[in-house]
Amino acid sequence: MATGENERMRVLVAMSGGVDSSVAAALLIEQGHDVVGATMKLWGGPSDSGCCSVADVADARRVADKLGIDHHTFDFTEDFEAAVVEPYAIAHREGRTPNPCAECNRHLKFRRFLDRARRLGFDAIATGHHAKVVRDAEGAPRLARGADRQKDQSYVLAMLGAEQLERTLLPVGDYAKSEIRAIAHRLLLPTADKADSQEVCFIARHGTTAGRQRFLEQRIALHPGRVLDKRSGEYLGAVPAVELVTIGQRRGLGLRGGLVGENGASRRYALGVDVATGTVLVGGEEELATRFWPLSQWTAVGARLPVGATVEAQASAHGRPRRGVLEPSGVRLAEPARRVAPGQLVACYLGDEVVASGVVTAASSVPPGPRADA
């Protein structure tokens, strides 16, 4: 089923309680669609991140009342625990650095929520993401960057396939953030000046290492780790929890004596994490460089993965796109770039359109030795 602005549809809008999804609902109403709002209750634990809270549900309901539309709340806490929270803890236990927001989009917002919308008889769902659904020459849906490059969220939606995009509307993707807030003010929406949520919704204290550690230590065992120089094998220090270290990390590595040398010449970065041996390998920034990002868990937006295509690969929400060639096992980069932590998402673009995405896989070579807590 093709979706578009010229055809009146029944649309279920995922209203998070923020300004973007509020305006998304308003724009769809102005376009003549039959709109209903729904808020997903995802996290039942404590949170101070301004996301997934009781206040967000209340804000979404207030906006729905202002717009004159029905509003529902869907309790997906069990699904969220199974598909996002538990894998997040397991990834850390195995030494990977997960991307919970991308996985929430993959499993909850564009699978569970979409399935519920279908069963309720809606033609499409909509969210407040800053991205676009466009059509190729054959009319197939494609995901593209939003008009506001500073707020573009196509990266966190890069795992969506054509089936999901066919039933998805992204109304705010054609607007700058300033325009979205202006529309919210014009319509006197109660979320017009609400700050954007920035952190992982189930990690308190704004996603700091301390908050992450407190969360994880309730779910997995955390172990101290030894820090070794990758080249010499020299013992340099210790970390309180090897499961919390990520590739590229510089601070909090417990290095003896701190930084040495002028202009940061002796700054050390985490190059490898091996939870099994409780070991963190460190080295200079130049040792982070690579010409290949290994990927698995591919999603191809089209019928097949465009192997051999020259793409722009992006490894974070607002990271610098890197030119490279798509291969079955990853992206061969045209120029050296920093390694990406295992578990992170890489989005591959042709121009402004996402053509594929994958999850980083890597294994570090760690010198043999006992665990730090042995």
Residues assigned a catalytic role: 104, 201
Q: What angle do CA 327, 294, 357 make, to 5 degrees?
A: 70
Taking CA atoms, 108 is separated from 14, 66, 212, 244, in Å, by 11, 27, 22, 25
**Comparing C-alpha atoms, which of 166, 144, 148, 147 is closest to residue 157?**
144
**Comparing C-alpha atoms, which of 113, 119, 145 is closest to residue 14?**
113
What is the rounded CA–CA span in Å between residue 176 and residue 70? 27
Taking CA atoms, 189 is separated from 25, 175, 245, in Å, by 11, 17, 42
Structure token pair of residue 301: 């937006």
What is the rounded CA–CA span in Å between residue 47 and residue 143? 31
**Comparing C-alpha atoms, which of 141, 110, 89, 75 is closest to residue 355?**
141
Taking CA atoms, 274 is separated from 55, 218, 267, in Å, by 40, 21, 21
Handedness of CA 152, 157, 160, 164 (dihedral sign): negative
Structure token pair of residue 154: 């196509």
Taking CA atoms, 354 is separated from 190, 206, 242, 331, in Å, by 34, 30, 34, 14
| Interstrand relation of 289-300 and 330-338 (parallel, antiparallel or unpaired) | antiparallel
What is the rounded CA–CA span in Å between residue 356 and residue 310? 12
